[in-house]
Structure 1
Amino acid sequence: MSGSTAWRPGRVHVRAPGKLNLFFEVGDVQPDGYHDVASAYQAVSLHEDCWAEEADDFTISVTGAVDVSGVPSDDRNLALRAARLLAKEIGHRGGVHLDIVKQVPVAGGMGGGSADAAAALVACDALWNADLGTAQLQRLASRLGADVPFALMGGTAVGTGRGDQLSPALAKGRFDWVIVPDAGGLSTPDVYGRLDELRRRRNVDIAPPPRAPAVAPEVLQALRAGDASVLAEHARNDLQVAALSLRPDLRDTLELGERSGALVGLVSGSGPTLAFLAAGPEDALELQVTLSASGRTALHVHGPVAGARVIG
């Protein structure tokens, strides 16, 4: 651990998870330009760490095991906005310095920025002894972005509306995934825009559902049973066709993973990170080795894991 992130008095350490979308159905575009969605989220063991300490102003430093060159260090940063929002909520007059160490790929469809924001909310709540409680933190989280409430909650959940109306979902046992990040990020608005364009061309396979988006009951049954094979049969992501249209090179990795023993391969969220579901830990390790031998970065993670929480 570096000196900048070592524990010391008056400093709070919070860890928050990245997420995978095990199922993602996208409704038609709404008049405000957004889409209603239905998602089954799972928090996985790829984490963001946030240290918060008192300061005169609101500042942030970002480092990590992933490329962080594209992460803003001003008020465009979601974690910094989270800290300001909480300070305003409780009338706190001081500032905070946030040290964030990232493991979740940037602009990779795994909710890393949202995890940073969730971690900042929990860290500042503890640092300032605000004791807001889960419901109030969730309310603030929903003002920051659709994935922030889930990074607070963790575990497995169904998200509807914009993805931020959350209901916990029962998930038995452990699910093993191999994650293949990609250096070239994909913009979420660009991916949704391409999906709308493909749908306007009347591609029936990806037409919006004729009802409100909903998670397939077979997905929820597979999670309750802890059955990775059944989950693989019904897992899907409506954004995948759009992401692959923008990044057709990702198909080669998807096909390699599925040929090499994955139960299913998915684009994670809006991509370009790919997620492969394995039958168990040993299968995941074999798949990780195969994908790594092909020159790709491959990470073995598991879920579900806890949401944003104070460490120590």
Structure 2
Amino acid sequence: MSLASSEPQVRVRAPGKINVFLEVGCRQSDGYHQLATAFQAVSLYEDVVATHADGFTLEVEGTVDVSGVPVDDRNLALRAARLLAAETGYGGGVHLDVFKEVPVAGGMGGGSADAAAALVACDALWGTRVGQAELHRLAAQLGADVPFALKGGTAIGTGRGDELSPALARGRFDWVLAVNEEGLSTPEVYGALDRHRERHRLDIAPTRVVPEVDAGVLQALRAGDAAMLAETLRNDLQVAALGLRPDLAETLELGESSGALAGLVSGSGPTVAFLAASPEDAAELRDVLDAAGRDVLLAHGPVRGARVVG
């Protein structure tokens, strides 16, 4: 049962994310890894407009290169719409217009934000009213980052990253993002990490079966202290991403030597995120990186999760 919206369309905005901390546990028998991560939603957004239709269709545009984004059932937003319809028994369809600001295949969860936005938009458009708990359950079926795109703000993710608990974060954190048109495949990066750990198993500390977020990260977020957070930034996938894309190391070195408090590869890459002390410092670093030929975006966090906008 549903009471479809009388409005012709619904627009929902969902944020991209940065993993300010990501510890990757051992590879499990099902091929997945246990994770412990601290997510921060940042002010690069995906907008999804849902319009009543007989079937399920999608169009994509944006301020970033969208040429590699599928518009068939491989697209996570379209899959989200079909999933909600199947779970609720909704008999109609939807047309989704997606406008992207988050770099594609950049390790910032743009596709996951699309899926979260599609769930919220279709739920509102169709009047299915499934509630937040059910939206979260459906989001977790679509991918580990989708529940966080629904929630936004700052959160700790465990399990595959989809088991969320809130994390208190005060103040504003400013980020300078060096993006890259050539994306990285998340499964490929995880595979490269497994191979790296196997090659160096005698030289590096054993991988924890159940990873944990360091207490220093939580303290820095609670304090709203960018300098303290800079000392605790960590991404276990970074070594794998740098192995696949050695050019990213040059970008990291340039940013960290040009005023950033710290830098790290975002998620599975190839976006490199630099933490700045202030909006003014972020703008100065952007200018330096831009002059060096990098494609640069500014963002801040934390921001809200997927929500209906006018």
TM-score category of the 2 structures, normalised to the smaller one: over 0.9
Counterpart in the other structure of 2:266: 268
Counterpart in the other structure of 2:302: 304
Counterpart in the other structure of 1:94: 92
Counterpart in the other structure of 1:233: 231
In the alignment, which of 187, 196, 199 is matched to residue 197 of structure 2? 199
Counterpart in the other structure of 2:276: 278
In the alignment, which of 51, 55, 58 is matched to residue 57 of structure 1? 55
Counterpart in the other structure of 2:250: 252
- Post-superposition offset of 1:202: 2.2
Counterpart in the other structure of 1:72: 70
- Post-superposition offset of 1:207: 4.5
In 2, distance between residues paired with 1:68 and 1:204? 42
Gap change, CA 1:200 and 1:101, over 3 Å in 2? same
**TM-score, normalising length: structure 2:** 0.96
The secondary structure found in structure 1 opposite 2:287 is helix
The secondary structure found in structure 1 opposite 2:177 is strand
Counterpart in the other structure of 1:24: 22
In the alignment, which of 20, 27, 31 is matched to residue 33 of structure 1? 31
Are the equivalent residues in 2 in contact too, given 1:27–1:208 (CA < 8 A)? no
In 1, distance between residues paired with 2:204 and 2:110? 27
Counterpart in the other structure of 1:181: 179
| 1:148 and 2:146 are equivalent in the alignment | yes
The secondary structure found in structure 1 opposite 2:68 is coil
Gap change, CA 1:296 and 1:157, over 3 Å in 2? same
For structure 2, which runs of at least 5 residues remain unmatched after alignment? 1-5
Are the equivalent residues in 1 in contact too, given 2:34–2:209 (CA < 8 A)? no
In 1, distance between residues paired with 2:191 and 2:202? 17
Percent identity of paired positions between Structure 1 and Structure 2 = 70
- Post-superposition offset of 1:149: 0.1
Aligned-residue Cα RMSD (Å) equals 1.2
In 1, distance between residues paired with 2:204 and 2:46? 33
Gap change, CA 1:206 and 1:195, over 3 Å in 2? farther
Counterpart in the other structure of 1:47: 45
Counterpart in the other structure of 2:83: 85
Gap change, CA 1:219 and 1:204, over 3 Å in 2? farther
Gap change, CA 1:74 and 1:225, over 3 Å in 2? same
- Post-superposition offset of 1:209: 3.1
In 2, distance between residues paired with 1:174 and 1:24? 20
Are the equivalent residues in 2 in contact too, given 1:51–1:123 (CA < 8 A)? yes
The secondary structure found in structure 2 opposite 1:192 is helix
Aligned residues: 305
- Post-superposition offset of 1:24: 0.2
Are the equivalent residues in 1 in contact too, given 2:49–2:98 (CA < 8 A)? yes
- Once the two structures are superposed, residues 97-147 of structure 1 have per-residue CA deviations (whole angstroms, 9 ceiling, x without a partner) of 000000001100000000000000000000011111111100100000000
Counterpart in the other structure of 2:207: 209
In the alignment, which of 128, 131, 135 is matched to residue 130 of structure 1? 128
Q: Which amino acid aligns with 1:192?
A: Y
Q: Which amino acid aligns with 2:14?
A: A
| 1:106 and 2:104 are equivalent in the alignment | yes
- Post-superposition offset of 1:210: 3.1
In 2, distance between residues paired with 1:25 and 1:309? 29
- Post-superposition offset of 1:280: 1.0
In 2, distance between residues paired with 1:121 and 1:200? 39
- Once the two structures are superposed, residues 140-188 of structure 1 have per-residue CA deviations (whole angstroms, 9 ceiling, x without a partner) of 0000000000000000000000000000100000000001110110000
Counterpart in the other structure of 2:288: 290
Are the equivalent residues in 1 in contact too, given 2:18–2:39 (CA < 8 A)? yes
Of the structure 1 ranges 144-153 and 206-215, higher mean CA displacement relative to structure 2 is found in 206-215
Q: Which amino acid aligns with 2:121?
A: A
The secondary structure found in structure 2 opposite 1:100 is strand
Are the equivalent residues in 2 in contact too, given 1:28–1:208 (CA < 8 A)? no
**TM-score, normalising length: structure 1:** 0.96
In 1, distance between residues paired with 2:78 and 2:206? 35
In 1, distance between residues paired with 2:202 and 2:46? 39
Of the structure 1 ranges 155-164 and 203-212, higher mean CA displacement relative to structure 2 is found in 203-212
- Post-superposition offset of 1:204: 5.8
In 2, distance between residues paired with 1:243 and 1:84? 33
Gap change, CA 1:205 and 1:166, over 3 Å in 2? farther
